Amino acid sequence: MKRAYIIVCLHVVFLPLGIHLSLATADTIEAKKERAKTAAEQITVMRGALAKSFIKPKSEITLATFKAVCGLVADTAKEIAKEEGFKIRHSAVKFRNPMHKATETEAGLLEKFDKNRKLTEFWDSVKLDGKEFLRYSKPIFVEEACLACHGPKKSRPDFIVEKYTEDKAYGFETGDLRGMISVMLPAPE
């Protein structure tokens, strides 16, 4: 009798725990969507923090500074994308790297974010290479530390003028919409 009681008790304790653990480890689409949001947030916050810490008034901005800021951000985005099986993309209407030129639907989203500053994120879906993806997009705004490289056209560092001949990503002011980050995850079958 005592034994049976203990077994029942153990079940009461461990059964819900087991269910809880299996729910926590199951990679549901909801869990993936949460991780896509976290990735977008992490990358955006990281860029701001690095820009603030590396760019001080009157400090010389070189290719090395860039690599320490946007370069590191790009590497982190690549790592997360690889680990998670996501695709991560930056886009802008006024782009610096032509690879980031907004597509028609991206330009539509950017306009939405620009017009409605209360809209801080947006989910939609997109087809890439014939496959359906869920897309999470988040706007990126200009902060003071960004102006060293995205401020007046004339004050852009030399390496930018030389390397980015199609550059349109200057003339921004603090608070302007700079572009957006999109994290795409394969849509469930």
Please name which of 62, 59, 50 lies closest in space to residue 157, comparing C-alpha atoms. Answer: 62
Q: Does residue 95 belong to the site contacting ligand HEC (CB under 6 A)?
A: yes
CB of 189 to ligand HEC, least distance (A): 32
Please say which residue, 2 or 56, places its beta carbon nearer to ligand HEC: 56
Q: What is the DSSP letter of 100?
A: G
Q: Does residue 48 belong to the site contacting ligand HEC (CB under 6 A)?
A: yes
Q: Does residue 88 belong to the site contacting ligand HEC (CB under 6 A)?
A: no
Q: How many residues bind ligand HEC (CB under 6 A)?
A: 27
Please name which of 110, 98, 97 lies closest in space to residue 66, comparing C-alpha atoms. Answer: 97
Distance CA 1, CA 5 (A): 6
Token pair of 8, please? 């029942």
CB of 84 to ligand HEC, least distance (A): 20
Q: Does residue 90 belong to the site contacting ligand HEC (CB under 6 A)?
A: yes
Of the listed pieces 21-29, 96-104, 108-116, 124-132, which binds ligand HEC according to CB under 6 A?
96-104
Q: Does residue 96 belong to the site contacting ligand HEC (CB under 6 A)?
A: yes
> Which residue from 143, 151, 186, 187 is in contact with ligand HEC, where contact means CB under 6 A?
143
Q: Does residue 138 belong to the site contacting ligand HEC (CB under 6 A)?
A: no
CB of 70 to ligand HEC, least distance (A): 4
Q: What is the bridge-based pairing of β-strands 122-128 and 87-91?
A: unpaired
Distance CA 39, CA 99 (A): 20
Distance CA 108, CA 149 (A): 26
Other CB atoms closer than 10 Å to residue 185's CB: what's the count? 19
Token pair of 106, please? 């991206």
- Amino acid letter at 98? P
Q: Does residue 51 belong to the site contacting ligand HEC (CB under 6 A)?
A: yes
Q: Does residue 172 belong to the site contacting ligand HEC (CB under 6 A)?
A: no
Distance CA 106, CA 91 (A): 7
- Residues of this chain that bind ligand HEC (CB under 6 A): 47-48, 51, 55, 61, 65-66, 69-70, 90, 92, 95-97, 100, 140, 142-143, 145-146, 148-150, 160, 169, 178-179
